[in-house]
Amino acid sequence: MTSTEDPAARAGELRRLLDYHARRYYVEDDPEIGDDEYDALYNELRDLEAAHPELTTPDSPTQRVGGQPVERLEKVRHLQPMLSLANVRSAEELRAWVARMRAHLAREGIADAQFRFVCEPKIDGLAISLLYRNGVFERGATRGDGEVGEDVTHNLRTIAQIPLVVDGAPPLLEVRGEVYMSLPDFAALNERLAAEGRSTFMNPRNTAAGTIRQLDPALAAGRPLSMLAYAIGTVEGLELTGQWEALAWLREHGFHVNSEIVALEDEEAVVAQCLEWEQRRGGLEFEIDGVVVKVSDFELQRRLGAAGRDPRWAVAWKFPPTTAKTRLLAIHWNVGKFGDLHPFAELEPVHVGGVTVKLATLHNEEDLARKDLRPGDEVIVLRAGDVIPQVVSPAPHAVENPDREPPPRPPERCPVCDTPTVKPAGSVFTNCPNTACAGRQWQLLRHFVSRGAMDIDGLGETLVGTLLNQGLVRNAADLYALGEDQLLELEGFGEISARNLIAAIDASRERPFHRVLFAIGIEEVGGVTARNLASQFRSLDRLLAATPAEIEQTPGVGPKMAEAIAAQLADPVLLELIERIRAAGLRLEEDGPPPGDGPLAELTFVLTGTLPTLTREQASERILTAGGRVTSTVSKKTDYLLAGDSPGSKLAKAERLGVAVLDEAAFLALLE
Ligand code: IVH
């Protein structure tokens, strides 16, 4: 402990001491020394490393802060996929899950399996993977899509609960867990930001997710993140028998593991545990949105395997969505792509399910009438998971108020263009009939450039609005005539951004015909119908020349829909747009194999459930490129139902109609 001592030995000793005390403080929540003493040790090490830079190691506690910013987040492929979880929402669903596992194992020759369940609070943060080689933290990544995530090592290093070195670790160890911001830390951060006159964060989850993806680790170091380890991923050189043992190993080796986690043998005890946490969810230090229930035994886990992305041996018990009471200030109306007026609610801002809600959808007029919502009412707002907030009903006492406003009525004039509105027979929407309405144009153009349509990078809804308002474009065809010089006159555009946007617009000329057909905005023509129309007619000209009866031959298109499509394709405004995008060089012909060719020629498929390896998109793509067709509803015209796990009502209907049912393996065989 004196200066005569070998500096290298002292540095090593200081690192061990600091790691030990950091663990007592951050991981075990049981500090042995005071902050001053810790700081003294830390400063001694920092000074020693400054005097002998060669003694600084990447795993030194001094290296948690002040790392170099990275230029971008590199993609990393996970050693094994990071799976997701199927949900259960009630005791019955949990029991059904256990019964399904029993049945599955019985088929595997394991009768009367005895389960040990590990119940873990499901923290609402983000999943990460930490890779240790020979006990040294090497790389940390976000979950991403489960296969490929982003390298966020620089930020994870700043989290005190993530050990930089693990004594007694096997040569290769991957630890998985949740990074989150605790509620007290979140409140303190927002207080600090508010005091500094800066804008505050909406909720802990988004703050954690945003922080972890920063390029500069100094930012992450300034925001208090926590981490709880919940699993061991890929590992070499360590034999463990189950989840419970893995958690114990992690805890013993310096990882922060939730002390609430319990192991239970009986499924009714699991139900009771889930209900108890549901009751206590508001009193915890972190936000939880459910409970993860896992079968502990690794051998049973292996036997059970996975269905698609979800392991069969684990489920998430999801808590019911959160509700809150607030005042309905006003009802406004939005104009949709085809002139439909959609009501939405302006609310007195209210905190619900982790976010502040000011606006909520009201779906349509009937829904509004059924709920009997009036401006000024106190209302119940619901936010379920990540879905758009909804107004459920007036608060019970609100309906008794004698001074209540009269029921709201749809506007007599379009709120955007002031054209008198109409109410088409059989529609739940009042309609603005003006095809040139700026509200409609904005929605149409927004749709045209969106991901599933022409996918024009860098052209978001705000910019779409600006282009329309400045008179630079009136419709989609005008985009292809835009020049860099015109963009340069807009606020926020420089030469590079203008060039990039023009390049992105140019690139969209290469989108296949079915995407163009979807993008131009024909009522009732969604992504799947656009594909089917494209493969049926092969070119826009042939579709334009088709009669309603011919259009009806397309899979998934009924008589009414065929009439509606034909009527729109005769509309002069749409025809003018089509001629102009033709002149702009967009693709108006299909270049895949014509129907009648390929192994699935003339065959119609419906997809349902989760397939073991293919996503729905991939399966549809395979069917279409093999000359087959995809529709969304099972009928007598359906040749095959391609069914995965949790198939739902489509399977029952197919069985009733005698439609052949394929699993993925049989489907792949058919393709060959
Ligand atoms: S296990 C079986 N355990 O939930 C593999 N996940 O839907 C699935 N999560 O993205 C992960 N707490 O972010 C597991 N104790 C826990 C968890 C947990 C939260 C999150 C995780 C993942 C999602 C799975």
Judged against a pLDDT cut of 80, whether residue 408 lies above it is answered with yes
Of residues 271 and 461, more confidently modeled: 271
- What pLDDT shows up at residue 386? 45
Q: What is the pLDDT of residue 98?
A: 97
656, two tokens = 């009733």
Smallest CA-to-CA distance from 311 within 100, 522, 580 is with 100
Please give the pLDDT value at position 467: 95
Q: What is the mean pLDDT of residues 127-150?
A: 95
Give yes or no: residues 98 and 163 share one domain: yes
Output Rg (C-alpha) for the chain, integer angstroms. 30
Indicate whether 76 belongs to any domain. no
Give the pairing type, strands 640-643 and 604-608. Answer: parallel
Predicted confidence band of residue 400 (pLDDT cuts 50, 70, 90) = confident
Tokens of 483: 């020049």
Say whether 122 is catalytic: yes
Same domain membership, residue 193 and residue 302:
yes
Token duo for residue 313: 């041996």
Q: Go through the chain and tell me how many residues it has.
A: 672
Amino acid at 615: T
The rounded Å distance from CA 630 to ligand 1 centre is 33
Atom of ligand 1 nearest to the CA of 127: 13
Q: Which residues lie closer than 8 Å to 197 by C-beta, 6 or more apart?
A: none
Question: Are residues 467 and 333 part of one domain?
Answer: no
Distance 124 CA to ligand 1 centre (A): 9
CATH code of residue 19: 1.10.287.610
* HEC profile of 97-159: HHHHHHHHHHHCCCCCCCCCEEEEEEECCEEEEEEEECCEEEEEEECCCCCEEEECHHHHCCC
**Which CATH number fits the domain that encloses residue 649?**
3.40.50.10190
Q: Whose CA is nearest to atom 21 of ligand 1?
A: 127
Q: Per the domain annotation, does 194 fall within a domain?
A: yes
pLDDT value at position 628?
85
Residue 549's domain is classified under what CATH number? 1.10.150.20
CA of 261, closest atom in ligand 1? 15
DSSP β-bridge partners for residue 174? 131
Handedness of CA 294, 298, 303, 308 (dihedral sign): positive
291 with 343, same domain: the answer is: no
| More confident position, 416 or 27 | 416
**H or E stretch at 541:** helix 540-545
User: What end-to-end distance do the CA atoms of the chain give, in Å?
Assistant: 74
Residue nearest to atom 12 of ligand 1 (CA): 122
Count: domains in the chain:
6
Please identify which residue in the block is written with the tokens 């997710």.
209
Pair 202, 280 in one domain: yes
Give the list of residues 6+ apart from residue 431 with CB closer than 8 angstroms, or none: 338, 339, 340, 341, 421, 422, 423, 424
The two structure tokens encoding residue 365: 């007029």
146 vs 83: CA distance, rounded Å: 6
**C-alpha of residue 179 to centroid of ligand 1, in Å:** 11
For atom 13 of ligand 1, which residue has the closest CA?
A: 127
Tokens, residue 79: 């050693």
Domain stops at, among 318, 352, 377: 318
User: Does 279 map to a domain?
Assistant: yes
- Statement to judge: residues 130 and 37 lie in one domain: no
Least confident range from 138-142, 321-325, 641-645, 667-671: namely: 321-325
Q: Whose CA is nearest to atom 18 of ligand 1?
A: 122
User: How does residue 596 score in pLDDT terms, banded at 50, 70 and 90?
Assistant: low
> Among candidates 351, 373, 353, which has minimal Cα distance to 361?
373
Same domain, yes or no: 173 and 241: yes
Q: Give the residue from 247, 70, 84 showing the smallest Cα distance to 151.
A: 70
| 330 domain-assigned | yes
Q: Is the dihedral of CA 414, 517, 509, 572 positive or negative?
A: negative
Residue 206 has pLDDT above 80, yes or no: yes
Q: Domain of 362?
A: 322-400
87 Cα: distance to centroid of ligand 1 (angstroms): 11
Return all residues near 118 (Cβ < 8 A) that are at least 6 apart: 242, 243, 244, 247, 261, 262, 263, 293, 294, 295, 296
Q: pLDDT-based confidence at 202, cuts 50/70/90?
A: low
Instruction: Give the per-residue pLDDT at 446.
Output: 95
Give the atom of ligand 1 at the shortest distance from the alpha carbon of 230.
15
Give me the DSSP letters along 189-221: HHHHHHHTTPPPPS-HHHHHHHHHT-S-HHHHH
- List, for residues 229-239, the tens digit of each pLDDT value: 999 999 999 99
Give the integer Cα–Cα distance in Å for 528 and 580: 25
State both tokens at 474: 């009136």
Q: What does the pLDDT look like over 604-617, one tens digit per residue?
A: 999 988 888 888 77
Q: Measure the CA–CA gap between 117 and 269, rounded to whole angstroms.
A: 10
- The minimum-distance atom of ligand 1 relative to the CA of 85 is 7
Residue 39 pLDDT grade (very low, low, confident, very high; cuts 50, 70, 90)? confident
CB 389 within 8 A of CB 328: no
Dihedral over alpha carbons 337, 343, 346, 352 (to 10 degrees): -90
Return the pLDDT at 66. Answer: 55
Query: How wide is the angle at C-alpha 139 spanned by C-alphas 136 and 140, nearest 5°?
Result: 120
Q: If you average pLDDT over residues 412-428, what whole number do you get?
A: 92
**CATH number of the domain residue 346 falls in:** 2.40.50.140
- Same domain for 178 and 112: yes
Structure tokens at 240: 């463990």
Give mean pLDDT, residues 184-209: 80
| 329-351 confidence digits (pLDDT tens) | 999 999 999 999 999 999 999 98
Confidence of residue 387 (pLDDT cuts 50, 70, 90): low
Pairing state between β 126-133 and 172-180: antiparallel
Poorest-pLDDT segment among 210-214, 308-312, 400-404, 620-624: 620-624
Query: What pLDDT is attached to residue 353?
Result: 66
Q: Which residues of 163-173 are buried (b: 16+ CB within 10 A; e: fewer)?
A: bbbbeebbebb
* Test site for ligand 1: of 97, 129, 178, most ligand atoms within 8 A of the Cβ: 178
Do 566 and 635 have their domain in common?
no
Average pLDDT, the chain: 90
- The pair phi, psi for residue 142, each rounded to 5°, is -75, 165
Distance (Å) from CA 96 to ligand 1 centroid: 21
Q: Is residue 268 part of a domain?
A: yes
Pocket of ligand 1 (CB under 6 A): 83-85, 120, 122-123, 127, 143, 178, 230-231, 292, 311, 314, 316
**pTM, rounded to two decimals:** 0.56
Instruction: Please give the backbone phi and psi of residue 236, each rounded to the nearest 5 degrees, phi first.
Output: -130, 130
Share of the chain above pLDDT 90, in %: 61
Residue 410 located in a structural domain? no
Strand 86-88: give its sheet, edge to edge.
Answer: 86-88, 314-318, 288-295, 117-123, 262-264
Residue 187 shares a structural domain with residue 225: yes
Angle at 425 between CA 421 and CA 427, to 5 degrees: 80
Q: Is the pLDDT of residue 1 over 50?
A: no
Does 51 score more than 70 pLDDT?
yes
> Where does a domain end: 63, 95, 111?
63
Q: Which residue bears the tokens 């065989």?
A: 669
Residue found under tokens 């019985």: 106
Mean pLDDT (whole number) for 517-522: 96
Q: What is the mean pLDDT of residues 558-569?
A: 93
Return the SS3 of 297: strand
Task: Say which DSSP state 429 is in.
Answer: S
If one counts every other C-beta atom within 10 angstroms of the C-beta of residue 655, the result is 12
Torsion of CA 106, 109, 111, 115, to 10 degrees: -80
- Residue 460 CA, chain-centre distance (Å), reads 19
Domain boundary among the residues 553, 583, 613 is at 583
SS3 content of the chain, % helix, strand, coil (to 5): 40, 20, 40
Spatial distance between the Cα atoms of 232 and 241, rounded to a whole number of angstroms: 12
Which residue reads 């108020």 in tokens?
Answer: 401
3-state secondary structure 382-413: EECCCCCCEEEEECHHHHHCCCCCCCCCCCCE
What count of other Cβ atoms lies within 10 Å of the Cβ of residue 669?
A: 9
Q: Is 544 in the same domain as 656?
A: no
Domain assignment present for residue 1? The answer is no
Distance 314 CA to ligand 1 centre (A): 10
Separation between Cα atoms, residue 64 and residue 42, nearest integer Å: 12
The residue to mutate among 83, 179, 230, having the most atoms of ligand 1 within 8 angstroms of its beta carbon, is 230
Ligand 1 pocket test, pick from 180, 292, 312 with the greatest ligand atom count within 8 Å of Cβ, gives 292
Residues with Cβ within 8 Å of 586's Cβ and at least 6 positions away in sequence, in order, are 480, 508, 509, 511, 516
Q: Which residue carries 């009866």 as its tokens?
A: 549
Atom 22 (ligand 1) nearest CA: 127
For ligand 1, atom 17, the nearest C-alpha belongs to: 122
Question: Has residue 77 got a pLDDT over 90?
Answer: yes
Same domain, 31 and 149: no
Q: Among the options 75, 122, 325, 371, which is catalytic?
A: 122
Tell me how far the alpha carbon of residue 335 lies from the centroid of ligand 1, in angstroms.
40
- Is residue 546 a part of any domain in this protein? yes
CATH code of the domain containing 96: 3.30.470.30
pLDDT at 35: 81
